[in-house]
Amino acid sequence: MKPCVLDMELVNSRLSDGNLAAIKLENNPNMNIEEILDLNIESSRVLMTPIQLKSQLPLTTTAAKTVLQGRQELQKILDGKDSRKFIIVGPCSIHDPKAAEDYAKKLKALAEKVKDKLLIVMRVYFEKPRTTVGWKGSINDPDMDGSFNMQKGLLTARSLLIKIAEIGLPVATEALDPITPQYLAELVSWSAIGARTIESQTHREMASGLSMPVGFKNSTDGNIQVALNAIQSSRIPHNFLGLDQKGQISTFKTKGNPYGHLILRGGDRQPNFDAATVTRAETKLKDLNLPQTIVIDCSHGNSYKNHKLQASVLENILQQIADGNQSIVGMMLESNLHEGNQQIPQNLEELEYGVSVTDKCIGWEETEKIILSAHEKLGADRNITLYNCGMVVSGIPVRNLLTTKG
């Protein structure tokens, strides 16, 4: 029997006009390519290319300066050249651009009050990895009605990122879909690889080519080693397939990202923000010749998914810093205009303004209170007057000085 083969010239011509049904297998006219290709694909839509989207929503000079300054300040903190800490704070996910913009304006005012001790970076997460199923975020389904208008989602996301950058706030997000960064990455100052994708080769490769610092979370079961593996992988060059600015499938060669760092986010069974666990993480980083820089997520497993416990987690972290910890460089908080969360209603007009539709968040009043408190405590720890000469020593914890005057 002669093998069934494809006439590739015919295949290419039919693929270009979308007429797959007309493609027959040579030597078997009763079979067509639809019987073996895309069996579980219902439909596809062509999106505008990254460069087309950017021509509609170009990066402004003001926004570019905010992004660049945010990246540089984060890098200095990670390099130990800036003694401040950074806080990634904002909604669990973005579903209402207007509420997000209102939040950004409040956060910018707060950031100005604490900027001598804290670098505030707004959490702006458009993509949500799901353990099973659920709303995947405002890029995937911006109208929250199952219409999956992803082009609208990308346009809305880019528009919001520009507005926040023009307000003067650097932005943090999760790098989830490997195509999305080509549309948005130049507006982001910090990215995270999440607990559900931490073992993915695709995400490690992507992180190695991203232009901003990247935090790597431990897995959902609390495994820190997979995050350490990811940091190591992201620091070296990779070659992989991807989408370029013109929308063409291309091969990319990365340089490796030197600003990968560990995020402790707790696990399904227990938190991992305590001093003993942090010390063990430091040792593992040192043994692997990796920078001993750690960010602690005050939410998720570290708060037992109870948003009301975020403040106490932050308090514990600040105490570790006061006791002399040098590895903790940042913290993460889930916060919104109003406390709690809500289900996505069938009638979207019933949505409560400024309330999360994913994880529960602390409200703005508590957010402001605990960040101002953190600023005060860091300030008390880092401005110390010596008895013998009256000089002020900046950046030296109390426990490291024998004779001090507060």
In the chain, the domains with their CATH numbers are: 5-35 (no CATH), 50-381 (3.20.20.70)
Residue 315 DSSP class: H
Over range 28-46, report the average pLDDT: 82
State how far Cα 107 lies from the chain centre: 18
- Of 195-204, 240-249, 374-383, 393-402, which gets the smallest average pLDDT? 393-402
The answer on pLDDT for 195 being more than 50 is yes
Give the predicted TM-score (pTM) of the model. Answer: 0.89
Determine the Cα–Cα distance for residues 242 and 16; give it in Å rounded to an integer. 20
Determine the Cα–Cα distance for residues 118 and 59; give it in Å rounded to an integer. 27
Q: Which long-range contacts (CB under 8 A, 24 or more apart) does 317-326 make?
A: 317/273, 318/374, 318/377, 318/378, 320/275, 320/278, 321/85, 321/378, 321/381, 321/397, 322/377, 322/381, 322/397, 322/398, 322/399, 323/275, 323/397, 323/399, 324/397, 324/399, 324/400, 325/275, 325/278, 326/292
State how far Cα 294 lies from the chain centre: 15
Tokens of 302: 């570290």
Determine the Cα–Cα distance for residues 41 and 141; give it in Å rounded to an integer. 18
Q: Which residue has the tokens 């990246």?
A: 71
pLDDT at residue 26 in the model: 58
Each residue's pLDDT tens digit, 238-266: 999 999 999 999 999 999 999 999 999 99
Among 333, 265, 331, 270, CA closest to 300: 265
Residue 24 DSSP class: E
pLDDT at residue 129 in the model: 85
The residue with greater pLDDT, 118 or 132, is 118
- Of 136-150, 186-200, 248-262, 385-399, which gets the smallest average pLDDT? 385-399
Identify the top-confidence range among 23-32, 125-134, 279-288: 279-288
Over range 282-294, report the average pLDDT: 98
Each residue's pLDDT tens digit, 144-172: 999 999 999 999 999 999 999 999 999 99
Give the count of beta carbons closer than 10 Å to the beta carbon of residue 363: 17
Determine the Cα–Cα distance for residues 68 and 61; give it in Å rounded to an integer. 11
pLDDT at residue 344 in the model: 96
The answer on pLDDT for 15 being more than 90 is no
pLDDT at residue 389 in the model: 45
Percent of the chain at pLDDT exceeding 70? 86
Determine the Cα–Cα distance for residues 118 and 273; give it in Å rounded to an integer. 19
Among 298, 305, 212, 311, CA closest to 263: 298
Determine the Cα–Cα distance for residues 219 and 178; give it in Å rounded to an integer. 19
